[in-house]
Amino acid sequence: MATKKKSGKKKSVKAAKGGKRAERKVTRAKKTSAKPGSLAGTNPQRVAAILTKLDEAYPHATCELKHENAFHLLISTILSAQCTDVRVNQVTQELYKKYTKPEAFAYANPADLEMEIRPTGFFRNKTKSVMGASKAIVEQFGGQVPRTMEELLTLPGVARKTANVVLGTAYGIASGIVVDTHVLRLSERLDLTRNDDPKKVEQDLMAVIPQNNWIQFSHQLIWHGRRVCAARKPKCAECNLEALCYAPDKTV
């Protein structure tokens, strides 16, 4: 009797293990089918169609940070971290009347500058970045904003996103693609990337978007993200990319 009970237990244990293995296989299969190894969305014909639709919808898309020169754009982009362009423009409207040159920011009173940029959020860190970048421009680059990615990345508070904004918008240099929260979201929805790290997303986009489209593409995606493809409730019925999009969170 004891032997039979043991064999029964062994069979039940094996069956349970077999069931768990089967469940794991099903789970893996689901994951695999949900996220295949290759991106169907990066087919050259589809990418070309997306670019055409973006051109139709936003032929004049550009950076919405108000600026008169490369330096103003640099400072505004630093201030735009975790803040809307509308708020930054409100702050800089008066800020640039007082701080007209890099020297003014570089040797400003930190306490005063903190209060003046406070509405943009994270004002203490932004003050350090603004003053540090301005001082480096004055002391290392003769008062001129650098024109290369390598040099811009040496400035305090400047990463690839900020550098790409300045190079693309101020100088017309396509050194990369600006990846902000809108570009990050829309690139995933359009199946142009499976990464969520901005640096990796930029590399994925640079591999499928022609270089002569890099600057305009980022502006257009940002405009589309602000006007139509919102994070929570995308207006898919109003989207001219709807027929090309198969995002799982579509509203139509």
List residues with catalytic annotation: 161, 180
* Of the candidates 12, 180, 24, 26, the residue with the CA atom closest to the CA atom of residue 88: 180
Q: Outline where 149-197 has alpha helix (H).
A: 149-152, 160-165, 171, 181-189
Query: CA-based Rg of the chain, rounded to a whole angstrom?
Result: 25
Distance CA 180, CA 184 (A): 6
Give the type of residue at 230: A
Instruction: Say if CB 66 and CB 74 are below 8 A apart.
Output: no
User: What beta strand segments (E) does 48-103 contain?
Assistant: none
